[in-house]
């Protein structure tokens, strides 16, 4: 399966990066020291030169063909030895020029092929290099996201720790009521009293004396992060009793 940068984990992206760097290091020794861009430019220029050499070759071969026709027509009509000799001389010298152009043209074609060879060697290196750049980009994005996540997590942990510390402090200062203000039973009939945040912490409730109250562990566990209103409705509790109790204990709710 093809490696997908977007789908891969950060760990495998990092592994891929170091593998890629190693491969590039090895490849570097066998690649031509010229960029693909330059190679493309060179090839274009060489092809242009080859084309104009071919034009030269065509020009002189056409000329030779024309002279040959002329020579044969002379030969057929009137025998003009001097003229035919001159024509033959011209034919020879133009043939030499045509051959010369042809030779230069094939040399130029060879150079085009050699450039293409270099291109073929250079391309995998460039492709790997651009793949490495894509990897690096994705790694930076992921690392930034991860750092942000970590910072947020630390901040949250720190907030929770502070809230808990404040709550412990307030709990120590709370007056211990004997009866649970929610259900009216003796608070420690079934174990220890629990300090409850009347307005829940995760809804923005503070750890203050006015927002914290001792309740029985049953009520505390049942209420969880519910608001007082929801808790009363869910368990069909006596709202008047609860409100009176909380008012007597100087609570805000
Ligand atoms: Zn209770």
Express each pLDDT in 14-24 by its tens digit.
999 999 999 99
The predicted pLDDT at position 184 comes to 92
* Residue 205 Cα to ligand 1 middle (Å): 20
Question: Tell me, what's the pLDDT at 193?
Answer: 79
From ligand 1's centre to the CA of 186, what distance in Å? 8
User: Ligand 1 centroid vs 222 CA: distance in angstroms?
Assistant: 9
Q: How far is the CA of 224 from the centre of ligand 1 (A)?
A: 13
pLDDT on residue 166: 81
In the structure, ligand 1 is a single-atom ion and the residues with CB under 5 Å from it are 180, 182-183, 216, 219
Ligand 1 midpoint to CA 165 (Å): 24
The closest alpha carbon to 175, from 217, 220, 213, 218, belongs to 213
User: For residue 250, how far is its CA from the centre of ligand 1 (angstroms)?
Assistant: 18
Q: Tell me: the pLDDT tens digits for 196-239?
A: 999 998 888 888 899 999 999 899 999 999 999 999 999 999 99
DSSP 8-state assignment for residue 174: S
Which residues 6+ apart lie within 8 Å of 124 measured at CB? 27
What are the φ and ψ backbone dihedral angles of 79, each rounded to 5 degrees?
Answer: -80, 105
Question: What per-residue confidence (pLDDT) applies to 241?
Answer: 96
What does the pLDDT read at residue 190? Answer: 55
239 CA from centroid of ligand 1 (Å): 13
DSSP element (H, E) containing 68 = helix 36-76
Which residues of the chain fall below pLDDT 50? none
Going from the Cα of 118 to the center of ligand 1, the distance in angstroms, rounded, reads 85
C-alpha 197 to ligand 1 mean position (Å): 14
Long-range contacts of 188-197 (CB under 8 A, 24+ apart): 188/216, 189/216, 190/216, 190/217, 190/218, 191/217, 192/217, 193/217, 194/219, 194/220, 194/221, 195/167, 195/170, 195/171, 196/220, 196/223, 197/167
Task: Give me the pLDDT at residue 1, please.
Answer: 63
Contact 25, 90 (CB under 8 A): no
Return the axis-axis angle of helices 228-235 and 239-248, rounded to nearest 10°: 140
pLDDT of residue 164: 81
Q: What's the predicted TM-score (pTM) here?
A: 0.51
């Amino acid at each position: 399966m093809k490696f997908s940068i977007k789908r891969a984990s950060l760990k495998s992206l990092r592994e891929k990066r170091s593998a890629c760097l190693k491969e590039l290091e090895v490849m570097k020794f066998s690649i031509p020291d010229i960029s693909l861009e330059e190679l493309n430019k060179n090839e274009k220029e060489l092809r242009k030169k080859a084309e104009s050499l071919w034009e030269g070759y065509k020009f002189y071969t056409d000329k030779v063909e024309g002279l040959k026709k002329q020579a044969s027509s002379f030969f057929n009509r009137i025998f003009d030895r001097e003229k035919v000799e001159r024509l033959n001389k011209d034919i020879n010298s133009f043939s030499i020029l045509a051959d010369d152009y042809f030779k230069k043209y094939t040399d130029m074609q060879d150079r085009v092929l050699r450039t293409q060879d270099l291109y073929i060697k250079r391309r995998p290196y460039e492709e790997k290099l651009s793949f490495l750049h894509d990897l690096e980009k994705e790694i930076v994005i992921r690392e930034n996201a991860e750092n942000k996540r970590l910072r947020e997590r630390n901040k949250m942990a720190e907030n929770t720790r502070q809230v808990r510390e404040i709550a412990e402090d307030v709990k120590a200062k709370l007056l211990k009521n004997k009866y649970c203000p929610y259900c009216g039973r003796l608070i420690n009939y079934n174990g220890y009293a629990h300090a409850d945040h009347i307005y829940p912490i995760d809804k923005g409730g503070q750890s203050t004396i006015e927002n914290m109250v001792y309740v029985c562990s049953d009520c505390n566990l049942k209420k969880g992060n519910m608001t007082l209103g929801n808790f009363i409705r869910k368990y069909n509790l006596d709202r008047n009793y609860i409100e009176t109790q909380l008012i007597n204990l100087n609570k805000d709710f």
